[in-house]
Amino acid sequence: MNRLLGLYLVFAASVSAGDLQLTLPPVVYATPDVPISIYDDNIVLTQTPENYRFEFTCKLGRSEARRWTLTPVDADVGDHPLAVTVKDASGKILEQGKTTLRVSPRKAGAGKPLRLLIIGDSLTHASLYPNEIARLLAQPGNPRSVLLGTHKPADAQPGVAHEGYGGWKWADFLIKYTAPTPGATAGPLARKATSPFIFPSSSGKTGKFDLDRYFKEHCDNEPPDIVTFLLGINDCFGANPTKPDAKIDEVLDNADKLLAAFHKAAPKAILAVGLTTPPNTRQEAFTANYKNNYSRWGWKRIQHRLVQRMLERLANREKDGIHLVPTELNLDPTDGYPANNSVHPNPAGYAQVGASFYAWMKSRWQ
């Protein structure tokens, strides 16, 4: 048996029904006419969420099979307590948690300038959630937005650019550099081997991380107002699922370095870190992608712990420009994924990720 798969199975046998590790962010963001949900499976650690009763207490929204959901209206603007109680089949309370639902006005930020830089891995490279952010921002009552970046894949809509690259980790944006081959094509395509924030030395043999130069050459010499980050899958996918904290420590150290560099170069910019998205509920999707090397339950365990650690490490860091976006809540882990892909959503799932970022952005102008 593959060693990692064996570790996944050992862990699966060790988790008890009473150790659901209910995990909620401090704030859930919403805005009128944009659906937002909290999926049961995304907030607890279990292979069988259907065996538990999830009770959501909030004056807004409604509970459905597998989720609590809301499409706000203008009268809903404001902060609303939201509590979650998880019970077993007999009605015994197992875990409880609280968060705040923040509904921002539909016209929040209307007419104000917004320079947005989106950073991420293959989920960003797919360009579907950046497209959704751009679509929502283009509606009436929104800031005058410009999406920054050098990367414009084929699926990016007109006006959509970003810095999202398949397989990339937090550290790659800090250190990834490949010396150019004589005669090779320069420009964005070459950036697949080199961070967009690293520029070659005069010899070309080494590179230097230089956000000031990036802003000068690719952002009209003006820093972004908001920078979003959606990373963590590639960083942690191969972690030991029974003891992931050492790897997560390393990953969050790299995240801190990149975030600190942006805060230094653009001290007025808001750095929005998306909480790493949950996996497809289907084990067959993991089998299709990874044969017997990785299981859905193993990655679910790692992803759940990563979200917990991100909340511990990055919450209450507004003085450093850091804000958290609960992108892990609103992604449907079943209908938001194709049947044969473990971590990459379908168009509906990507739209949910985009809606999470957009709803958070609207809260910045309250």
Q: What does the alpha-carbon distance between residue 199 and residue 213 come to, in Å, rounded to a whole number?
A: 8
27: β partners: 100
Topology, domain 109-363: Rossmann fold (3.40.50)
Residue 192 confidence (pLDDT) = 74
**Hey, which residues does 146 pair with through a beta bridge?**
115
Residue extents of the structural domains in the chain: 109-363
For residue 50, count CB atoms less than 10 angstroms from its CB and return exposed for 0-12, middle for 13-18, buried for 19 or more. exposed
Q: What is the CA radius of gyration of the chain?
A: 21
Distance CA 207, CA 46 (A): 45
Please tell me the predicted confidence (pLDDT) of residue 13. 32
Overall pTM > 0.85 = yes
- How far apart are alpha carbons 129 and 123 in whole angstroms? 8
What are the angstrom distances between the C-alpha of 309 and each of 305, 315, 357?
6, 10, 20
> What is the pLDDT at residue 183?
59
Mean pLDDT in consecutive groups of 10 residues from the start of the chain, 366 residues: 37 49 98 98 97 98 97 98 97 97 98 98 98 98 97 96 97 92 56 88 90 97 98 96 97 98 98 98 96 93 98 96 98 98 98 98 92
Query: What is the C-alpha to C-alpha distance for residues 323 and 234, in angstroms, rounded to an integer?
Result: 22
DSSP state of 337: S
Residue 1 is predicted with a pLDDT of 35
CA distances to 14, 90, 169, 284, 308 from 7, rounded to whole Å, are: 11, 32, 23, 19, 21
